[in-house]
Amino acid sequence: MNKIRIIIFIFLLNFGFLQNSNSESIPGSFADLAEKLMPSVVNISTTQTVVTRSNPFPGFEFPPGSPFEDMFKEFGTPQERQSAALGSGFIIDEDGIVITNNHVIQGADDIIVRVDGNKEFNAKVIGADPLSDIAVLQLDTKEKFETVKFGDSDKARIGDWVIAIGNPFGLGGTVTSGIISARNRSIGLTRYEDYIQTDASINQGNSGGPLFNMDGDVIGINTAILGRNGSIGIGFSIPSNSAKIVIDQLIEFGETKRGWLGVRIQDVTKEIADVEELGKPRGALVASVADNSPSDKAGVKSGDIILEFDGEKIKEMKELPIIVARTKVGKKVKVKIWRNKKEIIKDIVLGRLETSEDFKVAEKENEIKELQVEDLKITVRKLTKEDIKSRNLPNQTTGLVITKIENNSPLLNSIEINSIILEAQKKKIRSVDDLNQVVKEVLNSNQKTILLVIYNNENQKRYIGIKLD
């Protein structure tokens, strides 16, 4: 009987300990923290001028191929309209310096920032960086503001509680909570990705808003979600330690100054590790070295495996570009390399990525080109990752964005500028060549009617038949 009492007593003690432990680790309320942070989180709205063509005869719609269609085509005139977008941000300086995502303000004619729910201010861009998707704004006022500070994102652990505050769907001052679900995520949106994954609810309009730890410090900038129609519990934030380096440079210089090695790298597979007698896959394999680059001058060769950079071990290939980019330009760093089955050390003086020939070539390759589709009398460009994010489209979406429609185009009055051509004759369109090929096939057929699948300016999918003769 005494033994039973002792067991019960021990059980109760353990149960009580667990209860106390949980009560300390699980917040009873986020109210005090939210109340403290809300004045520093802002709502951002932008406007951009978009050119469309109006129907000169509202109420009258002529089917494609109608004899009346050509008669009224020339009456359609270009018309400007204002396209609006929403986002979030946060204040880091009492003089009104605001941090947000680049994609929130990219291409904007006007930027309005709403502070504390009802105060509105115009804002200008101090600097923006598409590669990291970060922008710094300055409010046009002499008023002083409450601020938040950055925390150490490297100390954030999987399972830690976090809260997000932002402007989802225009509902400013929205607070959501969750935990850190994962670290070091890469989802293919930007060149430098080391995202914090969270299950705190993040939706369209949350972009650019802060992710806070329980100390009220910003440990991330909410940037992307999985799921087209809203949060499914998988959101991604730029870690504060990575963001702060970019932000400091944008504030000081108006641009970024990233370190540059001048190598193209790839993963070290198990097979490569076995051949090189590395023991296990690690590091970054140098596929090529740019002429006259810092690595070239230091004697780095194709086939080398970079194991360590400036004292930091490289476990995976994707880590190296991030570490190099955040290292100061002109710094001499020691790079540990695996060559001929042994370690060697190279001293490398870092160059600047933005002024390198390597970067200029990459930028040229990524340049958005507008091309004509002569048979359709339209001008198009490829759909970009920025388009997909800003319009909240599925990540796998491919197509062509219409940038101009001629007065004699068969698409006039049927499709608006900025519509996205997804398919033609039930074939996916990934390039101008794809579209030209389908159009030629239609013109050589007896039917001469092309079936297009598009997203209109409201992101509604539409099937449109167009007569081409």
Per-residue pLDDT of the chain (469 residues; tens, 9 = 90+): 455 454 444 433 443 434 444 434 677 899 999 999 999 999 999 987 655 555 555 554 544 444 444 444 445 555 555 667 789 999 999 999 999 999 999 888 899 999 987 899 999 999 999 989 999 999 999 999 999 999 999 999 999 999 999 999 888 899 999 999 999 888 877 778 889 999 999 988 999 999 999 999 999 999 988 765 667 889 999 999 999 999 999 999 999 999 999 999 999 999 899 989 999 999 999 988 999 999 999 999 999 999 999 999 999 998 999 999 999 999 999 999 999 999 999 999 999 988 887 666 555 545 567 888 988 989 998 888 778 877 878 877 889 999 888 888 888 888 888 899 999 988 889 888 889 889 988 888 888 889 899 998 878 888 888 888 7
Count other C-beta atoms under 10 Å from residue 182's C-beta. 13
Q: Are residues 385 and 189 in contact, defined by beta-carbon separation less than 8 angstroms?
A: yes
What pLDDT does 448 receive?
Answer: 82
Taking Cα atoms as reference points, which of 439, 446, 410, 413 lies closest to residue 424? 439
What pLDDT does 15 receive?
Answer: 39
Give the Å distances, CA to CA, from 15 to 9, 18, 21, 327.
Answer: 10, 5, 10, 50
Residues 6+ apart with CB under 8 A from 446: none
Q: Which of 129, 133, 194, 434 is catalytic?
A: 133
The reply to whether 207 belongs to the active site is yes
What pLDDT does 62 receive?
Answer: 46
Domains of the chain: 153-253 (2.40.10.10), 262-349 (2.30.42.10), 368-467 (2.30.42.10)
The reply to whether 103 belongs to the active site is yes
Distance between CA 466 and CA 377 in Å, rounded? 13
Distance between CA 293 and CA 300 in Å, rounded? 10
Residue with tokens 């999987």, as numbered in its chain: 158
Beta bridge partners of 334: 347
Q: Give the angle 290-291-296 at the CA atoms, nearest 5°.
A: 80
Cα–chain center distance at 49: 22
Q: Which of 103, 194, 217, 419 is catalytic?
A: 103
Number of residues that this document lists for the chain: 469
Q: Which of 88, 132, 207, 356 is catalytic?
A: 207
What pLDDT does 250 receive?
Answer: 96
Residue with tokens 């504060």, as numbered in its chain: 240
User: What is the token pair recorded at 368?
Assistant: 């958005």
Taking Cα atoms as reference points, which of 168, 136, 157 lies closest to residue 213? 157
Distance between CA 407 and CA 411 in Å, rounded? 9
Cα–chain center distance at 135: 12
